[in-house]
Amino acid sequence: MALAQRHRLKGQRIFDRLYQKARKHHGPAMVLRCLDAVPDLLPPEQATRAPSPWRCGVVVSSKVHKRAVQRNRLRRLLHRHLMTVMDHGDASPSRWLLISLKPGSAERSPEALLGECSHLLKQAGLTP
């Protein structure tokens, strides 16, 4: 299951801002970057969509796994997890998240990856 359109982050300017200014939380297999939303950077097609308390992008490079099928599986796994964990919808102000998987994370079990993701979200103060 893919992340709903209203929760997706797209656009080079947004990703550049996240890489430069976001607060980072490191784990053994991933990095979580968080930033208060800057709606002026949203592309026009995203700015017209219903507002969301959070938007997220998941980056899985070819260094994580050579096969695109495996990278997409990891991305969908994290999307499903985010939809269930971040469903409370009471975050104010709106937040932007970027999850980047580190090389070697494809060898970890799905439970370990999701546990680390939950831990990083809690560390960032995004979940109770």
What's the full length of the chain, in residues?
Answer: 128
pLDDT computed for residue 104 by the predictor: 93
pLDDT computed for residue 88 by the predictor: 62
pLDDT computed for residue 113 by the predictor: 96
pLDDT computed for residue 106 by the predictor: 94
pLDDT computed for residue 92 by the predictor: 61
The C-alpha R_g of the chain, in whole angstroms, comes to 14
Assign residue 22 the CATH number of its domain. 3.30.230.10
- Per the structure, the count of domains in the chain is 1
Sites in the chain below the pLDDT cut of 50: none
Give the residue carrying structure tokens 């490079």.
61
Q: Please report, as a single letter, which amino acid is at residue 100.
A: S
| Its pTM surpasses 0.85 | yes
> Residue 101 is part of which domain span?
5-123
Residue 128 falls within a domain, yes or no?
A: no
Residue 48 falls within a domain, yes or no?
A: yes
pLDDT computed for residue 27 by the predictor: 95
